[in-house]
Amino acid sequence: MTLTSPHLGSSADWTDARLLYALEEVVEKELNRHLKVVKDWMPHEYVPWSDGRNFPGLFEDGEPWDPQQSKVTDVGRIALVVNLLTEDNLPSYHHEIATLFGRDGAWGTWVHRWTAEEGRHGIVMRDYLLASRAVDPDKLEQFRMAHMSEGFESDNRHSMLHSVAYVAFQELATRISHRNTGHQSGDPVCDRMLARIATDENLHMVFYRNLLGAAFELAPDLTMQAVRDVVVNFRMPGHGMPGFERAAAQMAIGEIYNMRIHHDDVLQPVLRFLKVLEIDGLGPEGLKAQEELGLYMNGLDAEASKFDEKLAARKARMAARAAG
């Protein structure tokens, strides 16, 4: 892809403030497009309220939680807790993007709209988990308190471009995680709920992906460096929650989110859509970043192939034990 838009000054001239101003028109266009295609939905309509009953506490007839009450698979329950705790940190996410993008004009309208839409996700997931007795409610609240008490600081808070690049990938990663959790949950009600959430996350990804494409037109070298940094150092926003590493490992084995999924279903679609590895006309720093990004993606693909082999061997062992 050859860049046809004029470079508005050198890379050194691009500050966050200049980029915010230069991208305002694109934000307004993408916001209007988003508002035309997004569909409002009611969280309470996705919750199996008739399955609900009192827990111990103020109610004398409260029934203690027991794992046998859950319709959800073990890996589904683990992923649901990780996904919900991630959504719970919305106040921190809002603070970060409002600080970076501002609260005025099209940027501010998007920040508040995004926050309002994301708020539904935490509402419906928690209501589902409690009504269906999918998880231990006491542990869920203890995890929430521990996670939110730590707060959240993005690895990319130092740069508006890095933040836009990160959310372009992260929103898609969240969509994939929710969708696969639904598929692996064992409960059709849960699957429908998470499919609805995943639809929102995909629209958020499209907004940020298109914004990232506009940034490539304006400041290709800086944007390429930001994408390289984000891809190479990518971490999901839930990395600070209690027991995240163990939960992530179980989700990887359960094929909800792992290296192969990250490479094939998250990184590659965004890079391919924007033709990031085909952009020419870059300066020395941009070209270096592009080459390093390509090398990293090749290395990640190779690591993912090794993971695939280990996962296949594990499945074979489990199948053999079950047959014996």
Summarised one tens digit per residue, pLDDT across range 50-97 is: 999 999 988 778 899 998 999 999 999 999 999 999 888 888 888 888
Q: What is d(CA 211, CA 215) in angstroms, rounded to the nearest whole number?
A: 6
Closest CA to 178 of 102, 238, 92, 243: 238
Examine the pLDDT at 9 and tell me if it is beyond 60.
Answer: no
Q: Which CATH superfamily is domain 16-48+65-323 in?
A: Ribonucleotide Reductase, subunit A (1.10.620.20)
Q: Residue 58 contacts by C-beta under 8 Å, 6 or more apart in sequence?
A: none
Please name the amino acid found at residue 10: S
Q: What angle do CA 219, 221, 227 make, to 5 degrees?
A: 95
Categorize the per-residue pLDDT at 244 as very low, low, confident or very high, splitting at 50, 70 and 90: confident
Contact status, residue 245 vs residue 204, Cβ threshold 8 Å: no
Categorize the per-residue pLDDT at 12 as very low, low, confident or very high, splitting at 50, 70 and 90: low
Average pLDDT over residues 163-169: 94
Which letter does DSSP use for residue 55 in this model?
A: P
Q: What percent of the chain has pLDDT over 70?
A: 96
Summarised one tens digit per residue, pLDDT across range 109-137 is: 999 999 999 999 999 999 999 999 999 99
Average pLDDT over residues 4-30: 74
* Dihedral sign for Cα atoms in the order 34, 38, 42, 43: negative
Kindly report the backbone phi and psi dihedral angles of residue 2, in degrees, each rounded to the nearest multiple of 5, phi listed first: -100, 130
CB atoms within 10 A of CB 54: 11
* pTM for this prediction: 0.90
Report the largest interatomic distance among the alpha carbons of the chain, rounded to a whole angstrom.
72
Kindly report the backbone phi and psi dihedral angles of residue 59, in degrees, each rounded to the nearest multiple of 5, phi listed first: -100, 125
Average pLDDT over residues 208-227: 95
Q: What is the pLDDT of residue 4?
A: 37
For the chain, the distance separating the N- and C-terminal CA atoms, rounded to the nearest angstrom, is 56
Q: What is the pLDDT of residue 295?
A: 97
Q: Which has the minimum average pLDDT: 155-164, 170-179, 208-217, 251-260? A: 155-164
Q: Long-range contacts: 213-216, Cβ < 8 Å, 24+? A: 213/273, 213/274, 214/23, 214/26, 215/19, 215/23, 215/161, 215/164, 216/3, 216/274, 216/276, 216/279
Categorize the per-residue pLDDT at 11 as very low, low, confident or very high, splitting at 50, 70 and 90: low
Return mean pLDDT, the chain. Answer: 90
Summarised one tens digit per residue, pLDDT across range 173-189 is: 999 999 999 999 999 99
Examine the pLDDT at 107 and tell me if it is beyond 80.
Answer: yes
269-291: burial string, b at 16+ Cβ within 10 Å, e else: ebbeebebeebeebeeebeebbe
